Amino acid sequence: MTDWTSGYVADLEYSYGYFDELNPLRARLALLNSGFAPPACESACELGFGQGVSVNIHAAATGAQWWGSDFNPAHAAFARELAVASGSGARLVDEAFADFCTRQDLPDFDFIGLHGVWSWVSDQNRSVILDFIRRRLKPGGVVYISYNTLPGHTATVPLRQLLVRHAETMQAPGQALAPRIDAALEFAQRLFEQNPAFLAANPQIGARLERMLKEDRRYLAHEYFNRDWRPMPFGEVAQALGEAKLSFAGSAHHLDHVEVLNLTEGQGAFLRELPDALFRETVRDFMINQQFRRDYFIKGPRRLTALDLREIARRERFILTGRREAIALTATGPAGEVGLRQEIYEPVLDVLSDHRPRTFEEIEHACGAQVRTFAELLEALMVLIGKKDLAPAQSDDVIAKARPAARNLNQRLMASARSDQGIGALASPVTGGGIPVSRFEQLFLLARAQGWSSPADWGAFAWNCLTELDQRVIVGDQVLEGGEENLAELTRQAGAFAEERLAILSATGIA
């Protein structure tokens, strides 16, 4: 490990995930649902952007000027390559927070996002981040922050300590991190086979270890093997951000806003008795044994009157990103699976089924008497966004401006699908964010962009890409060995893609 890392894992690069919570447009309805005015977003910043997939998608697909920093030079180099390919103008650097946050040439930001960073850095770095937010977030601006929390992670603390100590003390110095992680996990597994009293007192930790054993080692390295790993109770985070003049503005996970998905009736009633909103949030974390929080905070929250709230919400636009026929009328939260009211969701989904962006007001009018109240429609849209069947949409002007950079970025990302880099999203100029697109789907799109017109051609193109790398298609847990079998399966998948996905990818400006 080299010394610029502040104890952060640097010898295994992070994975190429995309996180739509970092899309500022997605914050708007959640903030409105909490009663707050959402800001327009002209300038945004992501701290600790990893491989930079999210920041590049957002920079290419929105009209905002994005900045970002990640001190791992391998991450920053890849992220910058994407920024150049897209032409988005994103300013992405490989500076440590302490250097980046004190730069003199930064603008003030409407949105600052940090995903998977807060719990994994030192107290000193958290202070640097807070100071940056205090100075650089505009009044009315929004912070998106995710972090490991308590009480859900209580038993993980000693397990993580054990794994880290094993990796540090029981293995040959100089050994690479991935095999050290494997050995530490195997040790913990053998320890748990001895039925230690810790396991009996915390039975759920056995399942956590089982899940860890199946995880990508790059994810585990960054999640658990840093010097710093500190789950923080909500109240402590709210207090720290409060000192930077921020107020809690609600969860960034839209399904968290819907009580019936999260709490029993009794739990809901118990919480409603608590007058203090922040304390209520702490108690709610006990109710659901919260492990990981995704929160929005605002600097100077402006609580809207009921009338203003309705007027702003009615101008927001939405597009259906799921296939109408495939959308299940159920949603799942900590309280289990809940059926969604057919009489509300069916008409809303029908109105949106042509995948054209529509305003809240247009949906409301089209549904007529079927959706009786503003609150019912608001909740339905929140749930559909939380289920990832629906996304907020930008204005036509912004969509038109974002198209070229989104197209350039997507070409670069689809090219990397040939070598299976593991990037599972493409940029939508319509939603200002990423849409999940699997590797094979990206290869079909690439074939299409190169002029191949039939699913049979797309399947053959994908099969050529796989044979280059000596790869085979896997169906279930079976590897298809013969060339004909592979080609037939890829052609079948390309056919399904043409029928079920192409219209949505075209409507979202990706195809």
**Residue ranges that bind ligand SAM, judged by CB under 6 A:** 6, 8, 14, 17, 19, 48-50, 69-72, 75, 96-97, 115-117, 120-121, 125, 222
Report which of 404, 426, 405, 429 is spatially closest to residue 415, judged by C-alpha positions. 426
- Complex with ligand SAM: residue 386 or 434, whichever CB lies closer: 434
Q: Which tokens hold the place of 385?
A: 């966004």
Q: How far is the CB of 369 from ligand SAM (least distance, A)?
A: 44
Report CA 262 to chain centroid distance, whole Å: 20
Q: How far is the CB of 71 from ligand SAM (least distance, A)?
A: 4
- Based on the number of CB atoms within 10 Å of its own CB, is 373 exposed (0-12), middle (13-18) or buried (19 or more)? exposed
Q: How far is the CB of 17 from ligand SAM (least distance, A)?
A: 5
Q: How far is the CB of 252 from ligand SAM (least distance, A)?
A: 13
- Complex with ligand SAM: residue 55 or 349, whichever CB lies closer: 55
User: How many other C-beta atoms lie within 10 A of the C-beta of residue 227?
Assistant: 14
Q: How far is the CB of 218 from ligand SAM (least distance, A)?
A: 10
Residue 338 near residue 330, CB atoms below 8 Å: yes
- Complex with ligand SAM: residue 142 or 504, whichever CB lies closer: 142
- Complex with ligand SAM: residue 432 or 509, whichever CB lies closer: 432
Helix, strand, coil share of the chain (percent; to 5): 55, 15, 30
Q: How far is the CB of 376 from ligand SAM (least distance, A)?
A: 34
- Strands 292-299 and 246-251 turn out to be antiparallel
Q: How far is the CB of 33 from ligand SAM (least distance, A)?
A: 24
- Complex with ligand SAM: residue 292 or 374, whichever CB lies closer: 292
Distances (CA, A) of 462 to 415, 426, 452, 507: 12, 18, 11, 23
- Complex with ligand SAM: residue 331 or 423, whichever CB lies closer: 423
- Complex with ligand SAM: residue 216 or 259, whichever CB lies closer: 216
Distances (CA, A) of 383 to 119, 253, 353, 388: 28, 10, 16, 9
The residue count for the chain: 511
Three-state SS string across 257-272, please? HCHHHHCCHHHHHHHH
